[in-house]
Amino acid sequence: MYTKRLIVGNWKMNPVTLAQAKRDFSAIKKAAVQYKNVEAAIAAPFVFVPELGKLAGAALSLAAQNVSSEKEGAFTGEVSAAMLAPLKVRYAVVGHSERRAMGETNSQIAGKIKQLLAKNIAPILCVGETERDSGMWYLSAVKTQLEECLAGVPKSALGRIVVAYEPVWAISTTENRRDATPEDCAEMRLYIKKTLSDMYGARAAEGVRVLYGGSVDEKNAVGFLVGGGADGLLPGRASLSPKKFEAILKIAHAVNR
Ligand code: PGA
């Protein structure tokens, strides 16, 4: 059973240079040492993974932002879980809305999860609706994502999965974005837990951390963690500033259960 909240910075396609990536990662790691109630990770672009893996440790772990759904072979441009595993990659984000927008399907995401579990890398499965509607169909959209992406995951492996709820309409780069509220987060967290409980039983569902992501910063983090009940956060833009990311870690440390 998890105890610490998990804060994962999603750097997306940033920064431009390896030198900057190493500087930022080191600065965050130095800060993270102080916040022992929190687990911190940075999801970095593939090209930085080998070097950042050398810096990663207990205070700050390394995550990939994607992985191939295939084991090996003729898949130009892809990176396999077996390639990531020896590079100290502890987590990998899968099913991010920006990749789903490029055409990634639930069944491909299910393949990625299978590959990651086989190599002992914990998947961070992103789910989230593109719009909210008064008929609450957004709940069933997320349910379908969970059911289809977790299709091959046995109950015994569920505890290794992290779910990140990221309403696409609240992500910082979405056009005409709106702020999600702690209540939005709390409602969906409960619904995700209920769906997992229906799929795997209440005990197994209890062990799954549900993170919140979508314009998380040092100002709203406390609301999502306390009112929203999030088991962690997945900030994108704010994670590009070591200072802002540190502020989020500090808050998560302070509000720990
Ligand atoms: P954001 O990104 O914090 O910049 O909205 C979050 C994400 O897309 O993972």
Choice from 6, 8, 11, 12 to test ligand 1 binding pocket (greatest atom count within 8 A of CB)? 12
Which of ligand 1's atoms lies nearest the C-alpha of 10? 9
Nearest-CA residue for ligand 1 atom 9 is 236
Query: Measured from the CB, is residue 4 less than 6 Å from ligand 1?
Result: no
Mean pLDDT of the region 75-90: 98
What pLDDT is attached to residue 3?
Answer: 76
CA of 34 to the centre of ligand 1 (A): 25
What digits encode the pLDDT tens for the residues 198-210? Answer: 999 999 999 999 9
What pLDDT is attached to residue 183?
Answer: 98
Residue 94: pLDDT over 90: yes
Mean pLDDT of the region 228-235: 98
Choice from 6, 212, 216, 220 to test ligand 1 binding pocket (greatest atom count within 8 A of CB)? 216
**DSSP secondary structure string for all residues of the chain:** ---SEEEEEE--S--SSHHHHHHHHHHHHHHHTT-TTEEEEEEE-GGGHHHHHHH--SSSEEEES---SSSSSS-TT---HHHHGGGTEEEEEES-HHHHTTT--HHHHHHHHHHHHHTT-EEEEEE--S---TT-HHHHHHHHHHHHHTTT--GGGGGG-EEEE--GGGSTTSTT-----HHHHHHHHHHHHHHHHHHH-HHHHHT-EEEE-SS--TTTHHHHHTTS--SEE--SGGGGSHHHHHHHHHHHHHT--
Nearest-CA residue for ligand 1 atom 7 is 236
Residue 160: pLDDT over 70: yes
What pLDDT is attached to residue 131?
Answer: 93
Is 253 designated active site? no
What pLDDT is attached to residue 2?
Answer: 60
What pLDDT is attached to residue 202?
Answer: 97
Question: Residue 238's pLDDT band (boundaries 50, 70, 90)?
Answer: very high
The pTM of the full predicted model, rounded to 2 decimals, is 0.97
Residue 1: pLDDT over 60: no
Mean pLDDT of the region 105-110: 98
Mean pLDDT score of the chain, rounded to an integer? 97
Catalytic one of 39, 96, 104, 218: 96
Query: Measured from the CB, is residue 209 less than 6 Å from ligand 1?
Result: no
Question: Residue 212's pLDDT band (boundaries 50, 70, 90)?
Answer: very high
Question: Residue 256's pLDDT band (boundaries 50, 70, 90)?
Answer: low
Query: Measured from the CB, is residue 220 less than 6 Å from ligand 1?
Result: no
